[in-house]
Homo-oligomer: A and B are copies of this chain.
């Protein structure tokens, strides 16, 4: 069923809201009033409902099936969390409401801070970052501020980033005024410790390492790496995108990390919502804590306070990185999730996510080539070696998965493996679900090897759309609706 655009279906006459009559008070707009309403059509309520429900049915979602996306931790989103976030005491609370009238909200943020610090073994956490990449920015800004405080900002400008890193890492480093230097990996998919040491020096501001890394492996040498960078006068930024694998099992603070963002929308189950909003609190070591951004929530006696300026413990803060105090709606959801799981449950989260990934790894290895040997953490990496000479590529294989009822895995990332396929099942998949998934993929793999290329070349066949022309989209960008002809506007 095709769904026209709002602009094709809507009306400029009727609307889906009813409002009281204005009283005709004299305007105080000066000369800034517009003569006409914005030229935007409306739906009545039944039309809007059907429009968006029909649109929704063209989406795939975690509530429908597995989302085996590496580095994205698409786990079950409990509805309790949605309910809690909608309590009027949280949802209908103004960010600049007087402190006394928001003590419950501040207390909640403070409790969440405690959980995040305890789970990561870190002494401090900055709550305001709005997403993972924003959390990275926070961490790197804190590192930059620490370097400035030491008067080394002119010299310490280089940041070491592994080849396998998320794209946000180098982008963030640059956004903080650093230059990026690539770190090579070892044959077993980890950072090459010796090569890293060789790159260290007075000009190195930090290393940015993901752990577990994007190959789904735990950086065995993480402490040695931390020691080395500290010794060289730099800092250790850890990308926390893969924290799900070790939550409850190991703490970055015990491993020498100076800063790490936490994706509440990955590890702590706040919904992805089709690409946002996220939330990326950043934990900080003692070395970086003084530079944490404002605002911040602190407890003084029985009262919770919101520090909104550089004062007291926050005198050296690097400043404000966002209006207001972060993603409260996500904080409520994340704390709801943490309380539900508890320490015992969170440890099981880490364990089951790793177990599920290894189970998938072993089962799929029957037909597919593992990226690196040995067990993995919470995601299993495969290369496209096994597809060699089949005429089927990683993309084709992934698109064929759509016809089997699955969302494709992460493809062509990390870049260090040829035609990478990165699969993260998460702990909220049942064994039955994993078996269904593996059976289906093994079937597809056999078909690819058996030369059934038709099944792959133009896949998907059973989706709302076949493959889309991305080149056309980029070459002739059409980013908004435009009235097709002059005549149509006369109707208004």
Chain B min CB distance to A61 (Å): 8
Cα-based distance from A53 to B78 in the complex (angstroms): 14
Interface residue? A20 (CB, 8 A) = no
Chain B min CB distance to A45 (Å): 6
Question: What is the chain B residue whose CB lies nearest that of A47?
Answer: B430
Chain B min CB distance to A224 (Å): 38
Question: What is the chain B residue whose CB lies nearest that of A342?
Answer: B18
Chain B min CB distance to A252 (Å): 27
Chain A: residues with Cβ within 8 Å of the partner, total of 25
Cα-based distance from A430 to B13 in the complex (angstroms): 13
Question: What is the chain B residue whose CB lies nearest that of A11?
Answer: B430
Q: Are B63 and A76 in contact (CB under 8 A)?
A: no
Choose from B45, B47, B63, B432 the contact partner of A49 (Cβ within 8 Å): B63
Chain A contact residues: helix, strand, loop or mixed = loop
Interface residue? A453 (CB, 8 A) = no
Chain B min CB distance to A419 (Å): 28
Q: A18-B340, A44-B430, A405-B1 are in contact. Are A76 and B49 (CB under 8 A)?
A: yes
Chain B min CB distance to A79 (Å): 8
Q: Are A46 and B76 in contact (CB under 8 A)?
A: yes
Interface residue? A64 (CB, 8 A) = yes
Q: Which residues of B contact A78 (CB under 8 A)?
A: 45
Q: Which residues of B contact A65 (CB under 8 A)?
A: 1, 50
Cα-based distance from A45 to B79 in the complex (angstroms): 9
Q: Are B76 and A45 in contact (CB under 8 A)?
A: yes
Interface residue? A220 (CB, 8 A) = no
Please name 19 pairs of A and B residues whose Cβ atoms are closer than 8 Å in the assembled complex, sorted by A. A1-B65, A1-B405, A18-B340, A44-B430, A45-B76, A45-B78, A46-B75, A46-B76, A46-B428, A46-B429, A47-B430, A49-B63, A49-B76, A49-B79, A50-B64, A50-B65, A53-B64, A57-B57, A57-B64
Interfacial residues, chain A to chain B (CB-CB below 8 A): 1, 9, 18, 44-47, 49-50, 53-54, 57, 63-65, 75-76, 78-79, 340, 405, 428-430, 432
